[in-house]
Structure 1
Amino acid sequence: MTEIKAVVFDLDNTLYDAEQYFFGAFEDISTYMYDEYGTDSNEVFEVLLTIWKEKTSMYPDLFNDMLKYFNIYSVEEIKNIVQIFNNHECKIKPRSDVIPTINLLRKDNIKLGIITDGTVHRQERKIKVLGLAEYFDIIIYTKHIGHPKPGELSFQKAIDNLGVKPCQMIYVGDNPYIDFEGAKKTGMITARLLKGEFSDIDTDEWIDYNIKNMYDVLYLLHT
């Protein structure tokens, strides 16, 4: 492998387990539903959890389906639920191997970046709570540039901002549906972390390496 000079990471389900955020946000929504409509908060939580686990976080109608289940769907109520989800005061922690790996990468003078989809203020809050901002040279919120993954623009922006050739960069993500196509098309080396809700999907499309933990990134530097 060419000498690696930069590593760029996805955020959700890569640097932390996104289940932490969803569970907390679902609890907030369940409390709201009880306060507003008297619905059983445990049932609301279970309905949300069932839909999410069955259809994954990529499913756009999670909250629509939940409200329809309880026969209280409206456009205004969808807005309320989405706002609660986005404003959740999360208590999330990085995966246990993330900070040690990042420190070792920085010790080797590897430039570091994050590319993340999602509502900007929600993703900013996550990064703040995780305590990650100080470790990274760039953080790219795809909403800011109007081109979410798997589009190539955010990856090209990372290449330009870090000043590193794409063949000298590793992109680490978890979601084979959106994480790797754009990175690979710009010339990056791609590594899929086999953790989280998409870990059982059997595909190697756009993926150069499968890794089981963050420490494997260090191994790739010397492959």
Structure 2
Amino acid sequence: MLDGISAVAFDIDGTLYSSPQFYVRIIPYFLKNFAFYLKYNKVRKILHHTAPLPDFYEYQARLFSELTGLSVPESKKKIQEIVYDGLIPYFKKIKTFKYVEESFKKIKEAGYKIAILSDFPPEQKGDLWGLSSYCDVILGTERLGALKPSIFPFGILANELGLKPEQILYVGNSIKYDVRGSKNAGMLSAYIMPFWRKIFHCPLKSADINFSNYRQLTEIVIK
């Protein structure tokens, strides 16, 4: 077992499933809503660098309103329909990476707490492919008021788990949001390497753990 670690927390998008697999599936949907996503992505870039907000969804709608000329209620409705509700059917067709559930099960049996911390609503993915039953804590950063890499949601995650940040290993695929964000919050980080890093044997030096598949992660965690 990793010394001092009592919980393993996971990002969702690109960490539990393949992002390219998802992007290929939503190409027609993205093209249909291309103009919307051009503006929405600008809003999200701003939000990734915004201090904790008392009402994230209201501020997100205000930013979108400024870019589009729509009213704030209209903006909020459009984001809900296209981003939060509109993508739900696509996640139902997505499969996790190999050995994800096996990994969750073994890590849980080894005595660790398991958590989810995602920038998009976890409930958008239903029961998280059956993984929610293994989780002690499931959090969406939007409801907490700040997106990663802010240390704020990581701090709430630690509080909800009843642990110190240094007792948590955070698993993610984004260098900026997951690795740097969790390490700045005082946690250990585990980085799931993209294909090219695996091929060229190029681990991320800033991550505490680099892994290629979930069986490998499980072995590192519970060995």
Q: TM (normalized to structure 1)? A: 0.69
Please, what is the CA RMSD of the aligned residues? 3.7
Question: 3-state DSSP class of the match of 1:139?
Answer: strand
Query: Given that residues 119 and 140 in structure 2 are in contact (C-alpha distance below 8 angstroms), is that contact kept between their aligned partners in structure 1?
Result: yes
Report the 3-state secondary structure (helix = DSSP H, G, I; strand = E; otherwise coil) of the residue aligned with 1:7: strand
- Alignment partner for residue 110 of structure 1, among 106, 109, 112? 112
1:14 maps to what in 2? 15
Aligned to 2:144: 145
Which residue of 2 is the match for residue 86 of structure 1? 84
Give the counterpart letter for 1:22 in structure 2: Y
Give 2:100's aligned residue: 98
Deviation, structure 1 residue 165: 2.9
Give the letter for the 1:170 counterpart: L
Structure 2 vs 1, CA of residues 129 and 165 (structure 1 numbering), >3 Å: closer, same or farther? closer
**Which SS does the other structure have where 2:216 is aligned?**
helix
Q: Quick one: distance in 1 between partners of 2:219 and 2:203?
A: 22
Q: Render the CA deviation track for 1:5-60: whole Å, top value 9, x for unaligned.
A: 11001101111112333333322345x57xxxxxxxxxx8xxxxxxx9xxxxx964
Gaps of 5+ in 2: 44-67
Paired with 2:176 and 2:218, the residues of 1 have a C-alpha distance of: 25
The separation in 1 between residues aligned to 2:9 and 2:167, in whole angstroms, is 11
Cα offset for 1:82?
8.0
Give me the identity figure in percent. Answer: 26
Equivalent pairs counted in the alignment come to 188
Alignment of 1:1-223 (within 5 A): 1-30=2-31, 32=32, 60=42, 83-87=81-85, 88=87, 89-90=89-90, 91-118=93-120, 120=121, 123-128=122-127, 130-195=129-194, 204=204, 206-222=206-222
Greater share of helix residues, 1 or 2? Answer: 2
Q: Give SS of 1:94's match.
A: coil
Answer whether contact 2:8 2:171 (CA < 8 A) is retained.
yes
Distance 1:60 1:203 in 2: 30
- Partner letter of residue 9 of structure 1? F
TM-score normalised per structure 2: 0.69
Larger radius of gyration: 1
Contact 1:29–1:85 under 8 Å retained in 2? no
The answer for unaligned runs of 5 or more in structure 1 is 34-43, 45-51, 53-57, 62-73
Answer yes or no: is the 8 Å Cα contact 1:92–1:126 preserved in 2.
no
- Once the two structures are superposed, residues 74-133 of structure 1 have per-residue CA deviations (whole angstroms, 9 ceiling, x without a partner) of 767xx6698434332121111111000001011112100011013x3xx41224362322
- Contact 2:107–2:221 at 8 Å: present in 1 too? no
